Structure 1
Amino acid sequence: MNTSYKVKLWEVRSNKSVARPGKPSKVISYTVRWTVGGREKSQTFGKSAQAKNFLSDLRQAAKAGEAFDMDSGLPLSMLKAATARTWLEFARAYVDARWPHAAAKSREGLTDTMTAVTATLVKDAPNRPAPEVLRLLLRTYVFVPESRRPDLDPDLGKALSWLEAASLPITDLDDPKLARTALEVLAVTLEGKPAAPSTFRRKRAVFKHALGYAVEVGDLQSNPLDRVKWRPPKQGGTVDRRVVVNPSQARELLVAVTYVGRVRGPRLRAMFACMYFAGLRPAEAAGLRVQDCALPEEGWGVITVRKTRPQTNKRYTDTGRAHDERGLKHREDDVDRPVPAPPELVKILREHIDAFGTADDGRLFVTSTGGDFSGSAYAQIWKRARLLALTPDQVGSPLAARPYDLRHAAVSLWLNAGVHAPEAAERAGHGVDVMLRVYAKCIDGQRDVANQRIEDALAA
């Protein structure tokens, strides 16, 4: 690229139409003229304000000592903006780069974040499509691999054309104000209510990573979020002790599950039991196979957790099915987690295998046709079981409101029973620091124990 600092600028020139009999001449356009390294350059605009603004930009660049490109006549900053790809073009390339290496749930989160940001980083152009049309276009067509895109109907085709024309240049994000605008969108739900702190932090992390990638590939000079004074909301993450059931309540709920439905409830009892007695996550229980279980006729057994089967939209999975088989959360794919199974759980699992068998691949918890239970299906079973097992006041409370709360009850029980934190964390698949932070409010009686120990020390 040939550049020069030798720049000369003239005032804006008005261009008039040719006068005709009975029709005087009038100004029809405005031309900005300048030279770069002795080469004459010009650019014509339809309005005076446009020409004056362009001339002002050239003057500011020259005054700042910026080099000008001799071919285009533009200062390098303006040349970069003029040739920059749009945010939409960048976002598509970024999603394509991350997609092959991301899990299905991560792909879903990636798409949600990029959809919200991309619908925001647009010009105020006429004929803007409805928000729901833009979201549908971005989620189902723009931010999925080309091989998975559906045929575009006319409405979505028009929306795509509008979006491609209206998307802002990515270089506009060098202004932190625009990055702040995107953060404000991520901080609220579609209904305009504040998003949960964990949701916002997760989406902010995706957006920041995308901007970091833009710096890496040369689209941005620096990450604008580093200059935005926005403190993410504190992530509580602690378990509400009101959701934690005691062992008697847990057993009542497990019995109640068997009375829900003719087949589905009884098939799910052992899955819920794994969440309570072994502290498994729902996706871990869904992936449990008979070959992963040591179930002796008497005494404790062992469940070796090797795979999870999280549920997401099938457009995000490689198999085209709603459940995606993955390794354990926050661990390498080939790392497993042995969890001791108390005799009560061993008995329940043996009864389940005798009654329902297993899927072809050994999975324990499948429908009568061998399929996976959807999250909505077992949540509905659990909701009906609560009505049978709990009092009306308890049904209206947060007590065991979700199947996941059985896991919370399990870990809380271990800690209250005096199980050392490292052992409890290993069984739960947590880091010790995370576990103590999450379950700190669910450890009952610790204050009295601490007081007694201090009293004994003082007496000594």
Structure 2
Amino acid sequence: MTSSSYKVKFWGIRTNTRAQGDGKKPRVVSHTVRWTVGTAEKSSTFKTKGLAESFLSELRQAARKGEPFDLESGLPASMIKAKDVRTWYAFAVDYVHAWWPHAAAKSRDGMTDTLTGVTLVLTHDRPGRPDDATLRRALRHFAFLPLDRRPVPTPEIAGALRWLEAASLPLTALDEAKHTRAALESLSLLLDGTAAATSTYRRKRAVFHHALEYAVEREELSANPLHRVKLRRPKPGGEIDRRSVVNPAQARQLLTAVTYVGRTRGPMMRAMFAAMYFGGLRPGEAAGLREQDCHLPKTGWGLLTLAKTRPESGKRYTDSGETHDERGLKHRGAKETRPVPIPPELVTILRDHITAHDVAADGRLFRTESGKAFSGSTVSKIWKEARGYAFPPDVVASPLAARPYDLRHAAVSLWLNAGVHAPEAAERAGHGVDVMLRVYAKCIDGQREMANRRILEALA
């Protein structure tokens, strides 16, 4: 028995009224569209006449195009498909939950941040819209978290989620270039409306692109709509600003100044900053450094065998529920290590640090008095105050060592300028050679003169 029919007949729209008492004109309460498919009568009621007329018009257009009508629902094939389409909001929630177990904490943070911005744009202009701050909290602190991590929603958050469910555009709306472009434009701006860095935009666009590829894989979109929309942004250079790179004397001034900050926190952080400068460690690698990773002889060079990194992500995104996520090294397998030879000066600093402050229960060198990792905000605060002690006001206002991460940049720049071969410097820094040379291109001094001298020697 067939489940559809091409035999369709339409009737006029029926107006439904309600009596209001003696002498009063009946009040119109709804409008009903009526039609038959085969021999079965169908109807659908709407609050306004305009909605009813629009629905009837869609039915008539489908019949004129020769579409089959479903006997059970009474709808043409195109309208059934549209009815089954998910909203962007529902799809985004499903996407986050599908990829959450496979993503690192920092990736989860970036994924939910990106999709929150897109979700706020892909909505109908529906009355009762909560403010953007409330909608962001509803998404990042509730909807985009796995079910077992969600807190009890406040009435405000529950209301914001109801509004999103009702106002979100269908996923297929992204087939229209104007909606895809609006989403991309939102990714190119910061919350204050200023332009985001090109690298930030490209990172967020990559998340959005991956989500849409997932929609294509699920056959909810026929093709990735981003391929049809070009929002040109300059390619990020990625080079380090040489003005941020300290020389050895300035680095030592900063390491001394750190010890002047606070009663215990500054002195306990000095060796961590020293590891970033003399060893070229990333902040997360320094946070994960353990005593068993360190070979610290009484004399001569030592060796750090890096095995773990502890980037800060926030409790909502880590599997442990701690603010720092324990991961393998960046760009390496989960159990791969990276050997980093360290000069005698850093060996002495680390030995003195262990003697003075001991280590955490799990062997980590750098931790608070309670054993936790230093928060990023605390590290930044200590560093900012130390710069004020180490430098005069005009230098403090400059980019010189503005962030702790600039110590790592200074380390790699020093190695390259000292003549360390690029593959060796890249191995110590945990970079690819091509990336390292591109990133540090503006920080390498004297290479032209050295090249000229070697060419002359070869010609002679």
Q: Report the Cα offset of residue 206 of structure 1.
A: 1.3
Contact 2:14 2:33 in 1 (8 A): no
Paired-residue identity, %: 63
Q: Does structure 1 residue 205 correspond to structure 2 residue 206? A: yes
- Residue 321 of structure 1: CA displacement? 1.2
Whole-Å separation in 2 of the counterparts to 1:369 and 1:237: 38
Contact 2:124 2:167 in 1 (8 A): yes
- Distance in 2, matches of 1:210 and 1:403, equals 34
Alpha-carbon distance in 1 for matches of 2:29, 2:324: 63
Distance 2:393 2:26 in 1: 86
Structure 2 distance, partners of 1:325, 1:58, is 57
Q: What is the CA–CA distance in structure 2 between the aligned matches of 1:73 and 1:276, rounded to whole Å?
A: 72
Q: Would the aligned equivalents of 1:212 and 1:223 in 2 still touch at CA under 8 Å?
A: yes
Q: Quick one: which amino acid aligns to residue 104 of structure 2?
A: A
In the other structure, the counterpart of 2:241 is 240
Deviation at 1:172, TM superposition (A): 2.3
Q: Is the 8 A contact 2:18 2:28 kept in 1?
A: no
Match in the other structure for 1:261: 262
Q: More displaced, 321-330 or 116-125?
A: 116-125
- The alignment partner of 1:444 has SS state of coil
Q: In 1, are the aligned partners of 2:13 and 2:52 still within 8 Å (CA)?
A: no
- Match in the other structure for 1:399: 400
Corresponding residue number in structure 2 for 1:220:
221
- Partner of 2:181 in structure 1? 180
TM-score normalised to structure 2 length: 0.91
Give the equivalent residue in structure 2 for 1:295.
296
2:287/2:366 contact within 8 Å kept: yes
Written as runs of structure 1 = structure 2, the 5 A alignment for 1:33-432 is 41-62=42-63, 66-432=67-433
Write the deviation string for residues 190-213 of structure 1: whole angstroms up to 9, x where unpaired. Answer: 111111212211111111111211
Report the secondary structure of 2:316's partner residue: helix
Deviates more, 1:433-442 or 1:170-179: 170-179
Per-residue displacement from partner, 1:325-350 (whole Å, max 9, x unpaired)? 11111211111110111111111111
Q: Indicate conservation of the 8 Å contact 1:282/1:404, yes or no.
A: yes
The CA distance in 2 between the partners of 1:131 and 1:22, in whole Å, is 50
Change (3 A) 1:38 1:226: farther
Q: Any conservation in 1 of the 2:18–2:29 contact (CA below 8 Å)?
A: no
Q: Distance in 2 between the 1:221 and 1:426 partners? A: 44
* Gap change, CA 1:140 and 1:74, over 3 Å in 2: same
Q: Deviations over 1:418-456 (max 9, x none)?
A: 111111111111111111111111111223334445566
Cα distance change on mapping 1:149 and 1:378 into 2, 3 Å:
same
User: Deviation at 1:54?
Assistant: 3.3
SS at match of 1:422: helix
Q: Helix, strand or coil for the counterpart of 2:304?
A: strand
1:6 aligned partner: 6
8 Å Cα contact 2:16-2:32 kept in structure 1: no
Deviations 1:209-258 (A, max 9, x none): 11211222232222221222223441222111100011111111111112
1:339 partner SS: strand
Letter in 2 for 1:304: T
Deviation at 1:5, TM superposition (A): 7.6
Letter of the 2:119 partner, please give it.
T
Alpha-carbon contact 2:254-2:386 (below 8 Å) kept:
yes
Change (3 A) 1:63 1:278: farther
Query: Matched residue of 2:121: which SS?
Result: coil
Deviation at 1:18, TM superposition (A): 10
1:108-138 deviation per Cα after TM superposition (whole angstroms, max 9, x unaligned): 1111112222222222221111211111111
| Deviation of the 1:277 alpha carbon | 0.8
Distance in 1 of aligned mates of 2:16 and 2:389: 86
Inter-partner Cα distance in structure 1 for 2:27 and 2:252: 89
Do the aligned partners of residues 245 and 64 (structure 1) sit closer, same or farther apart at CA in structure 2, a change above 3 Å counting?
A: farther
Task: Give the superposition deviation at 1:176.
Answer: 2.8
Deviation of 1:25 (Å) = 8.8
Do the aligned partners of residues 390 and 60 (structure 1) sit closer, same or farther apart at CA in structure 2, a change above 3 Å counting? Answer: same
- AA in 2 matched with 1:363: R
- Where 1:303 maps in the other structure, the secondary structure is strand
Cα distance, 1:62–1:176 mapped onto 2, change above 3 Å = farther
User: Which residue identity lines up with residue 448 of structure 2 in the other structure?
Assistant: R
Q: Output the CA distance in 2 between the equivalents of 1:38 and 1:118.
A: 44
Q: CA separation of 1:69/1:222 partners in 2, compared to 1, >3 Å: closer, same or farther?
A: farther
Determine if contact 2:16/2:29 at 8 Å carries over to the other structure. Answer: yes
Contact 1:84 1:169 survives alignment (8 Å): yes
Q: Does structure 2 retain, via aligned residues, the 8 Å contact 1:86–1:170?
A: yes
CA distance in 2, matches of 1:317, 1:367: 20
Letter of the structure 2 residue corresponding to residue 135 of structure 1: R
Q: Which 10-residue stretch deviates more, 43-52 or 26-35?
A: 26-35
Q: Give the counterpart letter for 1:6 in structure 2.
A: Y
2: distance between equivalents of 1:11 and 1:399? 78
Task: Spell out, residue by residue over 1:142-175, the C-alpha distance to the aligned partner (whole angstroms, 9 max, x if none).
Answer: 1112222222222222222222222222232232
Q: What is the aligned partner in structure 1 of residue 439 from structure 2?
A: 438
Instruction: Check conservation: 1:12, 1:52, Cα contact below 8 A.
Output: no
In 2, Cα distance between equivalents of 1:270 and 1:399: 20
Separation in structure 2 between the aligned mates of residue 336 and residue 129 of structure 1, nearest angstrom: 49
User: Residues of 2 paired with 1:442 and 1:174: CA distance?
Assistant: 45
Structure 1 unpaired stretches of 5+? none
Contact 1:12 1:30 in 2 (8 A): no
Residue 6 of structure 2 contacts residue 67 of structure 2 at CA under 8 Å; is this kept in 1? no
CA distance in 1, matches of 2:327, 2:398: 34
The two structures, once aligned, show a CA RMSD in angstroms of: 2.7
Shift of 1:354: 1.5
Going from structure 1 to structure 2, the CA distance change for 1:160 and 1:347 (only over 3 Å counts) comes to same
Closer, same or farther: CA 74–270 of 1 in aligned 2, 3 Å: same
**Residues 7 and 34, structure 1, Cα contact 8 Å, conserved in 2:** no
Query: SS where residue 339 of structure 2 aligns?
Result: strand
CA distance in 1 between counterparts of 2:456 and 2:308 reads 48
In the alignment, residue 151 of structure 1 is paired with which amino acid? V
Which TM-score applies when normalising by structure 1?
A: 0.91
Q: Residues 67 and 232 of structure 1: is their aligned pair in 2 closer, same or farther, counting only changes over 3 Å?
A: farther
